[in-house]
């Protein structure tokens, strides 16, 4: 039986950063990373952006933190069970021992529910999904994208930039209207329509017949050359964790403020539901930067635990945030992620900032477009619970959480 001092499940940003920061913090060797992914670690964000505009060939962008030199990376290998009592996992039919365990299993797209089993519908999460999507795009003149979340909007824009006639179908009144409010939704809608995307809002796809006949709730039927469904994701790792006796919530693994789910078991990224001490509650986040940040934290905490250094574990306190590129328009967003009561738009030269507030006019989110200085102070203002007046007046945060 092979055994590792640190075993990481997953080769996304959370897993790779965890291994890198564990090694940097002097955690004991050997380190093992077991991943279901078939490719060396790569960045996911370009998959709905440049690689859809330019490919083929689909050139993966290597992930930011490198796999530590002496770590063993096992590709195309699923962890199918975790045994906390014996401190082993089952992977590729083998028992693998661990001292510290990081579960960073990420998430997978939810398949489109109302479709014939053999309908030709693309999903996008992995590099391999992207290879298939790009191959389809090469053969296509028309596409239907279902869903107006970030992946749907980004992919629709990229396919349109590629010269494909894209129809985006969404039940929302406008792209991301529920999450980001009317103003940003209208901006995104105009960026998409400027690229030639045909937006069908307040419209549902009622059924897809094989191979590619799309029925809409307004009675119309579309027959595109390709279909991409981007209707949400489902966290992974929850079932494994539950069978091992760990607590889960809606598929995510529940963790404390140190992102620990059990002694010597750490979770990070899309599959985690940890306590964020600044928010004072559990948060679910699905963002690249947060996966990196959480991975770094659990790597350092696992290193301290493996060395028995007696160091206090770090707590998770950063305000979650993400970036998105819709065509050539880049936006950044930081927020607690559980909605807002009102929004205040501040026009900036060549851009704008939207401050989101709760019922007490406390800032709970910020979105910026060509206004990096507002974004930079925005996370700090959200963390300290600043008022809208302070945010709009240009006040600087007391302390910016990183
Ligand atoms: C197309 C696309 C574009 C995106 N763009 C942005 C963006 O612009 N900005 C942003 O903030 N976020 C973006 N995201 C979201 C971001 O990529 C995710 O939040 C991030 O990848 C989560 O990292 P993670 O490490 O938690 O999980 P993942 O990156 O999903 O990695 C999980 C890893 O676990 C492995 N795994 C799962 N189950 C098992 C198992 N049982 N055994 C072994 N291995 C397993 C998987 O194979 C994978 O390697 C985008 C996502 C996609 C798909």
pLDDT of residue 160: 98
Write down the pLDDT at residue 402. 45
What is residue 205's predicted lDDT score, i.e. its pLDDT? 98
**DSSP notation for 1-56:** -EEEEEEEE--SHHHHHHHHHHHHTTPPSPEEEE-S-SSSSB-SGGGGTHHHHHPS
Distance 262 CA to ligand 1 centre (A): 23
pLDDT at residue 400, as a whole number: 45
Instruction: Give residue 154's Cα distance to chain centre.
Output: 14
Q: Would you say the C-alpha torsion 59, 79, 233, 284 has a positive or negative sign? A: negative
Q: What is the pLDDT along the chain (402 residues), one digit of tens a residue?
A: 899 999 999 999 999 999 999 999 999 999 999 999 999 999 999 999 988 998 766 677 888 778 998 899 999 999 999 999 999 999 999 999 999 999 999 999 999 999 999 999 999 999 999 999 999 999 999 999 999 999 999 999 999 999 999 999 999 999 999 999 999 999 999 999 999 999 999 999 999 999 999 999 999 999 999 999 999 999 999 999 999 999 999 999 999 999 999 999 999 999 999 999 999 999 999 999 999 999 999 999 999 999 887 889 999 999 999 999 999 999 999 999 888 999 999 999 999 999 999 999 999 999 999 999 999 999 999 999 999 999 999 888 875 444
Query: Which residue is listed with tokens 């910016």?
Result: 400
pLDDT at 57: 65
- Distance (Å) from CA 305 to ligand 1 centroid: 26
Gap between the Cα atoms of 117 and 110, Å rounded: 14
Judge contact between 74 and 93, C-beta under 8 A: no
Choose which residue among 53, 291, 292, 321 to substitute to test ligand 1 binding: the one with the highest number of ligand atoms within 8 A of its C-beta: 291
CA 342 to centroid of ligand 1, rounded, Å? 31
Whose C-alpha lies nearest to ligand 1, atom 4? Answer: 45
Neighbours of 202 (CB within 10 A): 12
Whose Cα sits closest to atom 38 in ligand 1? 105
DSSP classification of residue 195: T
Measured CA to CA, the distance from residue 217 to residue 360 in angstroms comes to: 39
How far is Cα 388 from Cα 366, in angstroms, rounded to an integer?
11
What local confidence, expressed as pLDDT, does residue 399 receive? 56
Q: How far is the CA of 103 from the centre of ligand 1 (A)?
A: 13
Q: How far apart are CA 44 and CA 244, in angstroms?
A: 29
Pocket of ligand 1 (CB under 6 A): 9-15, 34-37, 44-45, 47-48, 78-79, 104-107, 124-125, 151, 236-237, 269-271, 286-289, 291, 322-324
**Residue/partner pairs of 172-181 with CB below 8 Å, 24 or more apart:** 172/148, 172/201, 172/202, 173/201, 173/202, 174/148, 174/201, 175/148, 175/199, 175/201, 176/148, 176/149, 176/150, 180/333, 180/354, 180/367, 181/340, 181/343, 181/354, 181/356
């Amino acid at each position: 039986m092979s055994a590792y001092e640190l075993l990481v499940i997953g080769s996304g940003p959370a897993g790779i950063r965890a291994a890198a920061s564990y090694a940097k913090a002097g955690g004991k060797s050997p380190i093992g990373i077991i991943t279901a992914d078939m490719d060396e670690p790569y960045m996911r964000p370009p998959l709905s952006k440049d690689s859809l505009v330019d490919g083929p060939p689909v050139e993966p962008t290597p992930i930011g933190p490198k796999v530590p030199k002496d770590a063993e990376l096992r590709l195309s290998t699923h962890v199918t069970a975790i045994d906390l009592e014996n401190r082993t996992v089952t992977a590729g039919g083998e028992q693998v021992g661990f001292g510290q365990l990081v579960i960073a299993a990420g998430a997978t797209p939810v398949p489109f529910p109302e479709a014939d089993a053999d309908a030709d519908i693309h999903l996008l999460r992995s590099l391999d999904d992207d290879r298939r999507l790009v191959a389809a795009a090469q053969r296509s003149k028309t596409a239907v994208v279902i869903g107006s979340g970030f992946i749907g909007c980004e992919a629709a824009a990229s396919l349109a930039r590629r010269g494909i006639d894209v129809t985006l179908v969404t039940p929302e009144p406008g792209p991301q209207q529920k999450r980001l409010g009317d103003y940003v939704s209208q901006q995104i809608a105009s960026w998409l329509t400027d690229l030639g995307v045909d937006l069908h809002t307040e419209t549902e796809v009622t059924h897809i017949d094989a191979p590619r006949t799309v029925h809409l709730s307004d009675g119309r039927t579309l027959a595109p050359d390709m279909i991409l469904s981007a209707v949400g994701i489902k966290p992974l790792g929850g079932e494994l964790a539950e069978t091992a006796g760990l607590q889960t919530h809606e598929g995510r693994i529940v963790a404390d403020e140190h992102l620990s789910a059990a002694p010597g078991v750490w979770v990070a990224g899309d599959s985690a539901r940890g306590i964020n001490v600044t928010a004072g509650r559990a948060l679910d986040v699905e963002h690249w930067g947060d996966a990196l940040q959480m991975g770094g934290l659990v790597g350092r905490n696992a290193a301290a635990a493996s060395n028995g250094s007696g160091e206090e574990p770090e707590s998770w306190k950063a305000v979650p945030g993400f970036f998105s590129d819709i065509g050539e328009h880049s936006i950044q967003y930081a927020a607690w992620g559980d909605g807002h009561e009102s929004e205040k738009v501040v026009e900036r030269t060549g851009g704008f900032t939207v401050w989101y507030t709760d019922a007490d006019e406390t800032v709970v989110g910020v979105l910026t477009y060509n206004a990096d200085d507002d974004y930079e102070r925005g996370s700090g203002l959200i963390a300290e619970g600043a008022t809208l007046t302070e945010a709009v007046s240009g006040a600087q945060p007391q302390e910016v959480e990183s």
